[in-house]
Chain A
Amino acid sequence: MLFNFANVLTFIVFGAVFVGINITLSRILQARNPHPVKLSTYECGELPEGDSWIQFNIRFYVIALIFLIFEVEIVFLFPWATVFKELGLFAFVEMMIFVFILLVGLAYVWVKGDLEWDKSTAVPDPALAPSAARQELTEAIAS
């Protein structure tokens, strides 16, 4: 078992070394043509506006929380899944109770709308709507 884990570690170390070699090689070979404008943050050609470390939607956090709890549940399911055939019906029923209790949780967050992603509440601006002439033209092209 230790040998197998040592192999895993070798892969991780080797992966890091592989990236290191490639980046170093590229450092040696690459063209260098510095310019201050190149070092500015990319914002579609505009000058960067404000800070990019902005506040995020709370939804991301809620999703991560729900995920974490289901993840813990799955950790319980894995060892059970490897032995449930030999343990028979009793173990199966036990796990069904466990899963059922957690499905209650899923049903709860579902019904309460915690799994809904925020939809846009913006009202379309009438000034930005296509003009009548343009709409006619679109329809003419479509037909």
Chain B
Amino acid sequence: MDFTNIAFYIFAALTVGSAGVMVFHRNVVYSAVGLLFAFFGVAGIYVLLAADFIAIVQILIYVGGILILLLFGVMLSQKLTKVDVRTESMQLVPAVVVVGGVLAVLLLTISSTPWKLAGSLEYEPTTKAIGRLMMTEYLIPFEIASVLLLAALIGAAYIARKN
């Protein structure tokens, strides 16, 4: 086992553990902190996958954008931080059946999929390659993304104004 493997397991444990805190904690702000560390762990895994640019984007957008937006949303909702956000368990038996079924399907899919393994990764800068591909091969999705962002901006502003 080499260092990248050990690092992977540490980051994976961090991600899963933090995600657990996020889901199970009673307090929304603690959930947000759990999310913070989960995002950080995912960024670490991206680095190990030789995706340096994506790792930074992960931090920039999810920690610097989504999480701040989320915390602002929590602060906006009066008393939300004092409420126990966990709901009660109801319909235990059907829930177990459904979740168990989904889990079985997922496990079956994971085990039967012929995963493509990259073999040994080449760690090299990806930013320029991304820029080049965006301007040539993936030009149309790139331009459509701008329209999507425009729609999102107008929609967000419109909804916020109604409140």
Smallest CB–CB gap between B11 and chain A, Å?
10
- A76-B77 Cα distance, complex, nearest whole Å: 32
- A49-B81 Cα distance, complex, nearest whole Å: 18
Interface of A is mostly: helix
Smallest CB–CB gap between B148 and chain A, Å?
9
In the complex, what residues of B have CB within 8 A of residue A112's CB? 157, 161
- B147 and A68 form a contact (CB under 8 A): no
> C-beta contact mask, A71-100 vs B, less than 8 Å → 1, else 0?
111011011111110010011001101100
In the complex, what residues of A have CB within 8 A of residue B150's CB? 101-102, 104-105
Determine which of A58, A62, A64, A80 lies in contact with B135 in the assembled complex, contact meaning CB atoms within 8 Å.
Answer: A80
- A101-B157 Cα distance, complex, nearest whole Å: 16
- A118-B75 Cα distance, complex, nearest whole Å: 18
- A82 and B127 form a contact (CB under 8 A): yes
Report the nearest B residue to A112, measured CB to CB: B157
- A122-B82 Cα distance, complex, nearest whole Å: 31
Measured as residues with beta carbon below 8 angstroms from the partner, the interface class of chain A is 35 or more
In the complex, what residues of B have CB within 8 A of residue A16's CB? none
Measured as residues with beta carbon below 8 angstroms from the partner, the interface class of chain B is 35 or more
In the complex, what residues of A have CB within 8 A of residue B143's CB? 94, 97-98, 101
In the complex, what residues of A have CB within 8 A of residue B145's CB? 76
- B50 and A62 form a contact (CB under 8 A): no
A114 within 8 A of B: yes
A56 within 8 A of B: yes
- A105 and B153 form a contact (CB under 8 A): yes
- B149 and A72 form a contact (CB under 8 A): yes
In the complex, what residues of B have CB within 8 A of residue A2's CB? 4, 47-48, 123
- A61 and B73 form a contact (CB under 8 A): yes
B20 within 8 A of A: no
In the complex, what residues of A have CB within 8 A of residue B65's CB? 64, 67-68, 71-72
Determine which of B47, B135, B160 lies in contact with A94 in the assembled complex, contact meaning CB atoms within 8 Å.
Answer: B135
Identify the 9 closest CB pairs spanning chains A and B, nearest first.
Answer: A79-B131, A55-B78, A83-B131, A1-B123, A105-B153, A68-B65, A101-B146, A79-B130, A65-B156
